[in-house]
Amino acid sequence: MLGSMQSKQLLISSIIEFAEKNHPKTEVVSNTTEGGIHRYTYADAAKRSRQMANALTNLGVKLGDRIATLAWNGYRHFELYYGISGLGAVMHTINPRLFPEQVDYIVNHAEDSYIFVDLTFVPLVEALADKIPTVKGVIILTDEEHMPETSLSGKVKVMCYETLIAGESTEFDWPEFDENTAACLCYTSGTTGNPKGVLYSHRSTIIHAYAANQPDVLGLSALDVVLPVVPMFHVNAWGNAYICPMAGAKLVFPGAHLDGESIQKLMESEKVTFSAGVPTIWLGLLQYLRSSGKRIDTVKRLVIGGSACPRAIIEGFRMEYGAVVDHAWGMTELSPLGTFNRPKAGMENLTDEEYIDLSMKQGRGMFGIDMRIIDDEGNELPWDGVAFGTLQVRGPWVCESYFKGEGGQVIDENNWFSTGDVSKIDPDGYMIITDRTKDVIKSGGEWISSIDLENVAVGHDAIQEAAVIGITHKKWDERPLLVCVKNEGAEVSKEDMLAYMDGKIAKWWMPDDVVFVNELPHTATGKLSKLHLREKFEDYTLPTDK
């Protein structure tokens, strides 16, 4: 027997309609690419999204068409999130930090028909113009006054965003369709091989947004002021572009200005209460706060994800600035949130030190995400905080396959998706990432966690950033090499580093060598690029191996 409740489809257009009706005056503030702050309300955003839907319809955009964006976090990008998906077309957010050949690959793979581009990224599209035949037009996210001279004219139709929507009606009846219809397309960074597309549906996006706003996850309310530093081209700003209008929270978009000084200024002037981003962003902010003496007193919580968060960052924000750092784990294939770190019953009276210890873990599973760890033979491992193995997940916002079937079968017969992470899970259900499968260091048949070593190394006052990679070793197969970037003006030697790490890690985990470099390579999503680092040290011989 079926239940007798209404089966209204879960569609993204309903989010902006809801915000317009229930939070019409709540502000959306943007630091713009043209310069200066732009401010309007959810009611304005909803109207302009409908104008965009009318404009797209006039351009001939239909259900299922892929429409790309190359843009920072800002109000026009936000309108596109609703205008494109609301119409039933697919919003394809491209990460502009990818190599140009990867951008070219994914535009062609996705068969994008239009590209919406911020002023900053016009040169990137100009360089690709001859290689993207499916693209019928490029729309520049600005007004007539700021339209640039571009070599794109003559090759494709070039349009100005404001002119495109100017004459359009603010009325548009959002179409009703199956909630399983594709809504957004996001490519993985592709550290090995070509990037692969993950195609989110309206249903998966809305369920993820509901789940991600549980009290023990983002837990945002209509009184929050949210600054998503995480880009809208990085897994939909981790859901913030949907969750904030659902919650009625004020949104503050940083645009291209992601340095510590700009973020502090925006946090102070807009009274930001909550922000989310990758560790490098928070490191930049922390350094700026310390050197300038400025504060972020309205900020209550910061979410860190995308890479393991060094203890020094969690400690710095909590102890010096009174901001709690919540550690989250996720991936493109999960829309992206999978686990979130908040305390549970029995942890009410943790000391700061104990709380920081807890915060180092990647967090508990969210309702909707089923998670387990398995060994190499596929046996499920216990949640004892000791056993570690491949992390697998399944649930309504976990991908079933990649776009166009790339990579073949990616889930097993019971829907388990292997994340490529090696983890342990403690008896309280907190998951701890040991490493990426391909980054773990295999020394004499045992595993060394590169992440654990990096976390210890960055705890040293003189160290800004650290990476550990495995170097081939005749006797042990692989041994760890620690590669560090020093803080400006800091003095520290290899011997100092090894002495500092002594006693904080198992003796046999001790790096066989320490090298200092001016900077470390990063991926398009701000992670340490171990692939590039391994290439750089391909011919390196450890002193213990001579």
**Site residues (CB under 6 A) for ligand ADP, limited to 326-365:** 327-332, 336, 362
Site string for ligand ADP, 133-152 (x = CB under 6 A): --------------------
Window 167-206: contact mask with ligand ADP (x via CB under 6 A): ---------------------xx-----------------
Decide: residue 486, CB within 10 A, 0-12 exposed, 13-18 middle, 19+ buried. middle
Q: Where are the alpha helices (DSSP H) in 311-464?
A: 311-321, 352-359, 450-457
Active site residue 442: yes
423 is a site residue for ligand ADP (CB under 6 A) = no
Could you tell me the smallest distance in angstroms from the CB atom of residue 336 to ligand ADP?
Answer: 5
436 belongs to the binding site for ligand ADP (CB under 6 A): yes
Q: How many CB atoms are located within 10 Å of the residue 25 CB? A: 7
Which among 96, 106, 100 has a CA at the least distance from the CA of 71? 96
Q: Of these residues, 21, 271, 438, 442, which one is catalytic?
A: 442
Residue 305 interacts with ligand ADP (CB under 6 A): yes or no: yes
- Does the footprint of ligand ADP cover residue 234 (CB under 6 A)? yes
- Distance CA(524)–CA(11), nearest Å, equals 30
Which window, 65-73, 321-329, 469-477, 538-546, contacts ligand ADP (CB under 6 A)? 321-329
Residue 367 structure tokens: 């309702």
Q: Closer to ligand ADP at the Cβ: 356 or 498?
A: 356
Q: Does 26 bind ligand ADP (CB under 6 A)?
A: no
332 as an active site residue: the answer is no
Q: Does 28 bind ligand ADP (CB under 6 A)?
A: no
**Closest approach of ligand ADP to the CB of residue 447, in Å:** 15
Least distance to ligand ADP, CB of residue 124, Å: 19
- Piece of the chain touching ligand ADP by CB under 6 A; list 15-23, 28-36, 157-165, 417-425: 417-425
Q: 3-state class of 256 per DSSP?
A: coil
Active-site residue 238, yes or no? Answer: no
Residue type, 18: F
- Three-class DSSP category at 312: helix
Residue 465 touches ligand ADP, criterion: CB under 6 A: no
Question: Which DSSP symbol is given to 502?
Answer: B
Report the nearest approach of ligand ADP to the CB of residue 349 (Å).
26
Of 26 and 423, which CB lies nearer to ligand ADP in the complex structure? 423
* DSSP secondary structure code for residue 545 in this structure: G
Note whether 213 binds ligand ADP by CB under 6 A: no
Longest dimension (CA), the chain: 75
Q: Which residue has the tokens 């809801």?
A: 18
Question: Tell me, what amino acid is at 212?
Answer: A
| Among 484, 480, 434, residue whose Cα is nearest residue 461 | 484
Residue 419 binds ligand ADP, judged by CB under 6 A: yes
527 is catalytic: no
Query: Shortest gap between Cβ of 233 and ligand ADP (angstroms)?
Result: 10
Tell me, what amino acid is at 202? H
Q: How far apart are CA 116 and CA 125, in angstroms?
A: 10
| Active-site option among 163, 300, 447, 504 | 447
Helix (H) or strand (E) holding 504: none
Tokens representing 507?
Answer: 């003796």
Interaction between residue 229 and ligand ADP (CB under 6 A): no
Give least dist CB 230 to ligand ADP, A: 8
**Interface with ligand ADP includes 306 (CB under 6 A)?**
yes
Q: 275 vs 419, which CB is nearer to ligand ADP?
A: 419
Token couple for 306: 């995308």
Stretch of 119-127, 143-151, 267-275, 305-313 contacting ligand ADP, by CB under 6 A: 305-313
Q: Is 88 a binder of ligand ADP (CB under 6 A)?
A: no
The residues that bridge with 435 in the sheet, in sequence order, are 422
* Spatial CB neighbours of 32, under 8 Å, sequence gap ≥ 6: 38, 74, 255
Strands 477-486 and 463-473: antiparallel
The per-residue DSSP string of 444-470 comes to TTEEE-HHHHHHHHTTSTTEEEEEEEE
| C-alpha pair distances (Å), 466 with each of 194, 444, 485, 515 | 27, 24, 6, 10
Please give the residue ranges that form the binding site for ligand ADP (CB under 6 A).
188-189, 234-235, 305-308, 327-332, 336, 362, 419-421, 433, 436, 525
Q: Which residues are catalytic?
A: 188, 333, 442, 447
